[in-house]
A and B are shown apart, each in its own frame.
Chain A
Amino acid sequence: DGGITQSPKYLFRKEGQNVTLSCEQNLNHDAMYWYRQDPGQGLRLIYYSQIVNDFQKGDIAEGYSVSREKKESFPLTVTSAQKNPTAFYLCASSIELGGKGRYGYTFGSGTRLTVV
């Protein structure tokens, strides 16, 4: 079955360390996204990529980096520069469903990152 796979599900990191979250999709979607969700809050966009080898900053990109070397993969690195990295991270992908701007939007199951 097609879908988005995020790994690991739970991740613990020491302060000052970089860590990379994996996101893989086999939906043949062109666009991929990383969101962060804090308790009781909505999703905030970190980075997005419309095509391979291209990505753009979202609303809260500071302290994060991404790459898009393959269509299927969009890993997110949380660097030591991110001041408050403990959060729930969600990867998503999308494709246009029709010609009128309706995009199918699928999420991975998320990675819960805790800094200890």
Chain B
Amino acid sequence: RKEVEQDPGPFNVPEGATVAFNCTYSNSASQSFFWYRQDCRKEPKLLMSVYSSGNEDGRFTAQLNRASQYISLLIRDSKLSDSATYLCVVNIRTSYDKVIFGPGTSLSVIP
């Protein structure tokens, strides 16, 4: 089993739609969680951190369920500019700061 797994995608949604991405992780020692966005042929950029209480940033909402080892990202009122690959990232603090990237879920927002 991979350490971080994501919805395989791709997601093709119309403008204005709400879309949800799921991510599961296998290591219960995982401490920090993030969603990154990666545009085609560019570097990943931090979208938002994910906190236990859940957090919201504008149209984006992230949730963490430690018991189920599950992270989600909800995007409301999708824009064309939201088209990208969304990476689930998990930080496991062992003897070093081990950061594990999920394979990513591709989103295309269609006019």
A binds B: yes
Residues of A within 8 A of B (CB): 31, 33, 35, 41-43, 45, 48, 50, 56, 88, 90, 94, 100-110, 112
Interface string of B12-46 (1 = CB under 8 A from A): 00000000000000000001101000000111111
Instruction: Let me know if A90 and B32 touch, CB within 8 A.
Output: no
Q: Is residue B99 within 8 Å, beta carbon to beta carbon, of the partner chain?
A: yes
The number of inter-chain residue pairs (CB within 8 angstroms) is 51
Interface residues of B, dominant DSSP? strand
Give Cα distance in the complex from A100 to B43, angstroms: 26
- Categorize the interface residue count of chain B: 20 to 34
Q: Which residue from chain B places its CB closest to the CB of A88 in the assembled complex?
A: B41
Chain A residues lying within 8 Å of B46, measured Cβ to Cβ, are 104-106
A94 contacts which of B44, B99, B101, B102 (Cβ < 8 Å)? B99
Chain B residues lying within 8 Å of A50, measured Cβ to Cβ, are 96-97
Q: Which of B74-109 contact A (CB under 8 A)?
A: 87, 89, 91, 93, 96-97, 99, 101-104
B102 contacts which of A33, A42, A48 (Cβ < 8 Å)? A42
Give Cα distance in the complex from A31 to B97, angstroms: 8
Q: Which residue from chain A places its CB closest to the CB of B88 in the assembled complex?
A: A42
Instruction: Let me know if B93 and A101 touch, CB within 8 A.
Output: yes
Q: Is residue B72 within 8 Å, beta carbon to beta carbon, of the partner chain?
A: no
Q: Is residue B61 within 8 Å, beta carbon to beta carbon, of the partner chain?
A: no
Instruction: Let me know if A48 and B96 touch, CB within 8 A.
Output: yes
Chain A residues lying within 8 Å of B101, measured Cβ to Cβ, are 35, 42-43
Instruction: Let me know if A101 and B99 touch, CB within 8 A.
Output: no
Q: Is residue B55 within 8 Å, beta carbon to beta carbon, of the partner chain?
A: no
Known: A35-B101, A101-B93. 16 other contacts (CB 8 A): A33-B99, A42-B103, A42-B104, A48-B96, A50-B97, A88-B41, A90-B43, A100-B31, A101-B31, A101-B91, A102-B49, A104-B46, A105-B34, A109-B43, A110-B42, A110-B43
Instruction: Let me know if B102 and A103 touch, CB within 8 A.
Output: no
Instruction: Let me know if B104 and A103 touch, CB within 8 A.
Output: no
Chain A residues lying within 8 Å of B89, measured Cβ to Cβ, are 105
Q: Which residue from chain A places its CB closest to the CB of B89 in the assembled complex?
A: A105
